Amino acid sequence: MRLSKNGVVARTGTAAVYILRSSALMVMIFWTYFALPAIIGHPISPFVAATLALGIQNSGYFAELFRGGIISIPPGQYEAAGSLGMTRGQAMRWIILPQAVRRMLPVFLLTTIDLVKATSLAAAITFQDLTFQATRIAAETYRPLETFAVVAAIYFVLFSAASSLTYYVERRLAVSDR
């Protein structure tokens, strides 16, 4: 939306991204779980509330990531596509987006890792993720140190592997502006 030539659409997109990026995730989770059902008159499961909150809150970050990837492509690429007789849509599909995806994929993967890490906040609304289960086990066994040490190790292994994959992808897709 922010890339639109229409000023109203561009300003609306800018405002939406600003609001979404400025909101606190925990507040968004509580709002979707407690306030939204009161507004719509229908209960929402913890999974749906957490998914909505995480999706809405992170959409601003992903929107900026995609916008940044698209505007990072030199204007000469658009001009070259136009000289080949391509429409704006064809230029985006065949020339601009493949290059933009290559530039934004590493940041996209890192942002996705942060999104997955944020799912642990959903335990606050009884969404039964790893953190919620660890809290339950720690309460039953009276061993919070050991329980959360295991959880920390699981997160460490998962996200170390994901970060290594991201680093590998970043190196493979490195773009030079020759």
Residue 112 binned pLDDT confidence (cut-offs 50, 70, 90): very high
CB atoms within 10 A of CB 57: 22
Buried b (16+ CB within 10 A) or exposed e, 90-124: ebbeebbbebbeebbbbbbbbeebebeebebbbbe
Residue 42: predicted pLDDT: 96
Is the model's pLDDT at 128 over the cut of 90?
Answer: no
DSSP secondary structure string for all residues of 123-163 = GGGT--SHHHHHHHHHHHHT-HHHHHHHHHHHHHHHHHHHH
CA distance readout (Å), 9 to 6, 88, 152 = 5, 18, 44
Q: φ and ψ at 82, to 5 degrees? A: -65, -40
CA distance readout (Å), 154 to 30, 95, 177 = 26, 41, 39
What percent of the chain is predicted at pLDDT more than 70? Answer: 97
pTM of the model as a whole: 0.81
Per-residue model confidence as pLDDT tens digits over 26-68 = 999 999 999 999 999 999 999 999 999 999 999 999 999 999 9
Residue with tokens 């933009």: 100
Domain ranges of the chain: 7-172
Rounded Cα distance, 125 and 35, in Å = 13
CATH T-level assignment (fold) for domain 7-172: MetI-like fold (1.10.3720)
